[in-house]
Amino acid sequence: MSTKTKEISNQALELPPVEKARLVDCLLSSLDKPDEAIDGLWRQEVEKRVEAYQGGELNSVSLQQALSKYQR
């Protein structure tokens, strides 16, 4: 770790928890650039599922039911 990175890290460790979280979010966002093509496909999928649910084509389950499937 470079001297500058160590200095920034030490300063970050002194921040209040909320500010640390904001800094982490900012840093992670800088590494993960959005892919507009993938975002567009997800948007279409969400719209399709919402329309199917509103049209009565899909049933919903409670959060507890969904989680119980994986808590075995």
pLDDT, one tens digit per residue, over 11-25 is: 999 999 999 999 999
State whether 26 and 38 are in the same domain: no
Residue type, 55: G
Q: Do 28 and 42 fall within a single domain?
A: no
Q: Is the pLDDT of residue 47 over 80?
A: yes
Based on the fold, state whether residues 25 and 38 are members of the same structural domain.
no
Give the pLDDT of residue 8.
96
Distance, in Å, from the CA atom of 24 to the CA atom of 47, rounded to the nearest integer, reads 31
In this prediction, residue 10 carries a pLDDT of: 97
Query: Into how many domains does the chain fold?
Result: 2
Q: Judge if pTM exceeds 0.85.
A: no
Q: Over 90: is that where the pLDDT of 32 sits? A: no
Residues 42 and 58 in one domain: yes
3-class state of residue 32 by DSSP: coil
Looking at the structure, do residues 65 and 51 belong to the same domain, yes or no? yes
Q: How far apart are CA 26 and CA 12, in angstroms?
A: 13
- Do the Cβ atoms of 52 and 43 come closer than 8 Å? no
> What range does the domain containing 41 cover?
34-72
Q: CA 30 to CA 23: how far, in whole Å?
A: 11
